[in-house]
Amino acid sequence: MKTVNLRNLGLINAAAIYRNLTPAQLVEEALLRGEGVLSKTGALVVETGKYTGRSPDDKFIVDVPKVHKQIAWGKVNRPISLEKYQIIRAKLTAYLQNRELFVFDGFAGADPACTKKFRIVNELACQNLFIHQLLIRPTEEELKKFGKPDFTIICAPGFQTLGKEDGVNSEAAILVNYPQKEVLICGTAYAGEIKKSVFSVMNFLMPQEGVLPMHCSANMNPENGETAIFFGLSGTGKTTLSADPNRRLIGDDEHGWSERGVFNFEGGCYAKCINLKEENEPEIFHAIKFGSLVENVVIDEESRELDFDDDSLTENTRVGYPVDFISNAQIPGVGGIPKVVIFLTADAFGVLPPIARLDKNAAMYHFVTGFTSKLAGTERGVKEPQPTFSTLFGEPFMPLDPLVYAQMLGEKLDKYGTKVYLVNTGWSGGPYGVGSRMKLSYTRAMVTAALNGVLDVVDYRHNSIFNLDVPQSCPGVPKSILNPRDTWSDKKAYDASAKKLAAMFQENFAKKYPNMPKEIVKAGPQA
C-alpha cells in the first residue's frame, strides 16, 4: 500500500499511514473497524452521532497580523488566537500518535490554471472514502508528482477539545489557519465539515487570482455548451435542479467563475437523501451504490434496505459520491461563461413568487442578501424552516468582506450580459404549516423556460412589495401559481405576511450593508 511521511505535521509515531487507498480498500477498512455497514446496493452506511450537520458555532479562524485585515470578522468568522490554536493542535497530534491514519492527496479546482493541492489526513476510513470521492482524484502519474500540498486538513472526530478552557465553544472545533495552510477538525464525525473547509479555503484563495468562488451548482447544454449556475443554501434545490437528465452536470455545490468560464472545485456530489424517490431524483437515487458514503439514513438490519423517509436520526441525511456516478456528468468539470444565473430560495412565508426576473441591480441586491429558510437538519438545533439571510448564499464559507465577492459578480454580469432569475422552491398558498411546498416538476419547468429563452418573450407583472418582475405564463406551470397572492385564500393575510418579510429584507440590508450604492438599495423590496 502507498504511504507518505507526515513528520512535518508532527505525526511521527503513527501505527500505519495509508495513502490514497482505493474505494474498495477504504470500504474494507471501514467495515473491519465497525465504522458502518453495507446497504443492499453496496453503499457504505454510517451514523455520525451527535453531529448530523455542520456546527457553525464551532468554526474559528486563527487571527494573526498577516490575515487580520482581510477577514470579515463577526459571528460567522470567529477569531481564535494563535496560542489557543497551537495548544489544541498539540493535543490533536498527541491523540493521533500510534493510530492508523488514512491520507488522501487530491485536487480542488477542475481548471488547471486554478487547481490547488489538498492533503486530507483522517482518523476514520469512512471519512477518507468520503473525501476521496468528493475531491478531484489524481492519476497515478499526478500522485507521483504531487509534492507539497497547498493546504492540509487533519480530521479526528475521536479527539474532543475542552471547550471554553481551550478557547472554543464545545468539544467540537473547526480551526482554519490560513498562513499555516492548515485546517483542524475535531470532535465531529459529520463529513460535510471536511468539504466545506476545502470550500472556505478556496473562497479565500480564488479572489486573489481574479476568480469568483461561488456556493452554487452548475450544468450545461450538451449541444451548444451553454452554462447555467444555481445559487442556494443547503436544501433549496441546488443538487436536485442541476442533476437534470437533459443537461450535463458540471458540479453540485462549489465552483469558480474565471475569464475562461465556470469550473467545479470538486470531483463529487453531496446530496440530501430525505424523502428521496427514484421517480423524482433518479440520478441521485441510482448513485447510492458501492463507493458512495451514506450518512444517517436508517437501514433495516436484515434486508439492508434504506428508509429515506425516516428522519429519526436527522432530516439532513446525506450521500457522497463521485460525480461520474451521474450518467450525464461533464468530465472534467468545466463549462463556459454562464448564460443564466438562478438564485434559489426556500421562502417559508410563502409570499415570494415562484420565479422572477432580476436586472443587474436587483441581482446584486439578492446576491448580497441571500434570503432563504434554513431547513431542518442542515445545522444543529434547526428543527423547522427558519427565515435567514446568508450573504452570497454561502456566508458561513466566505472569509472575506462580502463586497469583494459581490463586486466581482456585478462586474461579470456587466461584462457577459448574463441573465438572472430568483426562483422560490419554498412554500405556496400560505406559510410553512399552512401552504404546500412548490412542486419540483413546476420548478423544473420554470428553470427550463429560463434556460431556453422562453421567459424572454412572455408578459411580466410587477410585484410592488418585493420590487420584482413576475412572468405571467410559463410552459408546464399553472398560471394560477405564478402570482403568490392569488394562491392565498386570505388576501389580507398574504399582504400582511409579504410586508413583514419585505421589512425584514430592508432591516437586514440596512444593518449589514449601510454603504451599499443607492441604486442597489432601491432594487430591493420597497414595502
> CA of 519: how far to CAs of 362, 408, 420, 515, in Å?
9, 17, 17, 11
- Active-site residue identified among 238, 255, 366, 412: 238
Q: Is 286 a catalytic residue?
A: no
Q: Is 54 a catalytic residue?
A: yes
Exactly one of 19, 48, 54, 448 is catalytic; which is it?
A: 54
215 is catalytic: yes
The candidate with the shortest Cα–Cα distance to 269, out of 207, 333, 213, 355, is 333
Q: Which of 170, 200, 234, 345 is catalytic?
A: 234
Distances (CA, A) of 507 to 66, 265, 493: 34, 34, 21
Cell numbers that stand for 8 in this block: 512535518
Q: CA distances (Å), 363 to each of 3, 45, 48, 414, in order?
A: 48, 40, 38, 11
Q: In what order do the strands lie in the sheet with 318-322?
A: 37-38, 44-46, 293-295, 318-322, 268-272
SS3 410: helix
E strands of 199-253, at which residues?
212-220, 227-231, 248-251
* Options 215, 272, 339, 380, the catalytic residue: 215
Residues 290-303, buried b or exposed e (16+ Cβ, 10 A)? ebbbbbbbbbeeee
Angle at 86 between CA 82 and CA 87, to 5 degrees: 120
**Which of 252, 253, 372, 425 is flagged as catalytic?**
253
Residue 195 appears among annotated catalytic residues: no
Choosing from 217, 239, 443, 487, the catalytic residue is 239
**Nearest partner of 323 among 281, 268, 370, 361, judged by Cα:** 268
The region, left, alpha or beta by phi > 0 then psi within -120 to 50, assigned to residue 479 is alpha
Among 463, 444, 461, residue whose Cα is nearest residue 501: 463
CA angle 355-357-360, nearest 5°? 140
Q: Residue 4 burial (CB < 10 Å; 0-12/13-18/19+)?
A: middle
- According to DSSP, residue 196 is labeled H
Catalytic annotation present for 238: yes
Active-site residue numbers? 54, 196, 215, 234, 238-239, 253, 318
